[in-house]
Amino acid sequence: MHKTVNVNMNIDAMIEDLRTLVEVESPSRDLDALRASATAVAAVIERRLGGQAVLVESEAGPHVHWSAGGDPQVLILGHHDTVFPLGTLARRPFTVADGHATGPGVFDMLGGLVQAVHGLATLDDRSGVEILVTADEEVGSHSSRPLIEERALACGAVLVFEGAAEGGSLKTGRKGCGTFQVSVAGRASHAGLEPAAGVNALIEAAHQVLDIAALGRPDIGTTVTPTVASAGTLDNVVPAEATVIADVRVESADEKERIESAFAALAPHLDEAEIEVQGAVSRPPMPESASAGLLAVAQQLLPGLEGKAVGGGSDGNFTAALGVPTLDGLGAVGGGAHADHEYLVIEAMAERANLVAGLVNAIRNPRTPLD
């Protein structure tokens, strides 16, 4: 049986590194903020692990890549972008109280990055380990996906440091997810003088919302949720344009194909209205089979640890879809992702960091196949 590395972590050092990362705000798509964040992440990695962390430029902001050298065997995967706009830190500063750390990004997923780095720092031999911290996970990973897939295939095993599931469980399966936008083109007219001369894009959009919502199959795990709609310019003008955005989650490749085909087949209800559909299920489902071998190792290292399938997507969806063994939810124990009450449980940080070290050792010295 594999054993965890029994090391007394310096919790104060972990908290200080977490403070450093949280206090460099990193909203997705803000290139200046993301550059500052990537620089801070690289500095933490280099200070704790040595070597050089390289900033990989992209249109979405810099990704951070670090390699210990040697034949690649395990990829530590995370992201440094967050969903919170600049200024959130002033309203909700990094705070440690009552056993919790709070602040924008502590749980999703800066705490996981800190735990991963400090866990690796306990290993005298880090050969074969790579770290990739991307800048666009929260907005779909369009820029980073090719690099993620390249390094996952090269390494052959992926540990994803998104926050843990409820109760500290690991995430062993994820739904595929995507976003669709339906754009409606109508014709403007005066709402009082000649409303019938127009083609009301808002009414057409209302029809589309109902059609879109009807595509869901919650009984088999497929949810289709209209989330954002906009239409109109003035209260006395028949709207000429409207948009509807929908969030989609699926558990199978068959459902991915069905949903994409159904969106492509949407048709207007009003005469002379036109619609255009954009989008896809861009993150493929992450099957639980992709994590089975790694989960078994983690449960040997930390008896009582559970795995759960969850609805949210991560970059682990991409690596699992390639057939690369992938274990997710290894990051912070806590909750409140994307919310003002986001928090990290400090007491769990050392245990999770030790789990990182144990998993890396087990992957590099396998006794049983991981897939």
**CB contact set of 16 (below 8 Å; sequence gap of 6+):** none
Is residue 320 within 8 Å of 172, Cβ to Cβ?
A: no
pLDDT at position 135 is 98
Is residue 160 within 8 Å of 321, Cβ to Cβ?
A: no
pLDDT at position 368 is 62
pLDDT at position 4 is 44
Is residue 41 within 8 Å of 24, Cβ to Cβ?
A: no
pLDDT at position 367 is 74
Half-sphere exposure (Cβ direction) of 286: Cα atoms closer than 13 Å: 31
This prediction has a pTM of: 0.89
Phi-psi bin for 291: left (phi > 0), alpha (psi -120 to 50), beta? Answer: alpha
Task: Kindly list the structural domains of the chain, giving each domain's residue range(s) and its CATH number in brackets, ordered by start.
Answer: 11-174+286-364 (3.40.630.10), 176-283 (3.30.70.360)
| 3-class SS of residue 276 | strand
Burial class (CB in 10 A: 0-12, 13-18, 19+), 134: buried
Return per-residue pLDDT of the chain as tens, 371 residues: 334 444 567 999 999 999 999 999 999 999 999 999 999 999 999 999 999 999 999 999 999 999 999 999 999 999 999 999 999 999 999 999 999 999 999 999 999 999 999 999 999 999 999 999 999 999 999 999 999 999 999 999 999 999 999 999 999 999 999 999 999 999 999 999 999 999 999 999 999 999 999 999 999 999 999 999 999 999 999 999 999 999 999 999 899 999 999 999 999 999 999 999 999 999 999 999 999 999 999 999 999 999 999 988 999 999 999 999 999 999 999 999 999 999 999 999 999 999 999 999 999 998 766 66
**Sheet hosting strand 95-97, strand order edge to edge:** 95-97, 100-102, 343-345, 334-335
- d(CA 137, CA 38) in angstroms, rounded, equals 14
Give all strands (DSSP E) within the chain, no chain letters.
Answer: 53-56, 63-67, 74-79, 95-97, 100-102, 129-134, 158-160, 170-174, 176-185, 223-231, 241-250, 274-283, 307-310, 326-327, 334-335, 343-345
| 3-class SS of residue 35 | helix
Residues in the chain: 371
Strands 241-250 and 326-327: what pairing? unpaired
Q: Report CA Rg, the chain.
A: 23
pLDDT at position 369 is 65
**CB contact set of 47 (below 8 Å; sequence gap of 6+):** none
pLDDT at position 8 is 63
pLDDT at position 3 is 40
Is residue 76 within 8 Å of 120, Cβ to Cβ?
A: yes
pLDDT at position 288 is 94
Burial class (CB in 10 A: 0-12, 13-18, 19+), 232: middle
Contacts 24+ apart (CB under 8 A), 46-54: 48/17, 48/117, 48/118, 48/120, 48/121, 49/117, 49/120, 49/121, 49/126, 53/131
CA-angle at 296, arms to 290 and 299, nearest 5°: 130
Specify the DSSP class assigned to residue 164.
P
pLDDT at position 312 is 87
- d(CA 89, CA 57) in angstroms, rounded, equals 26
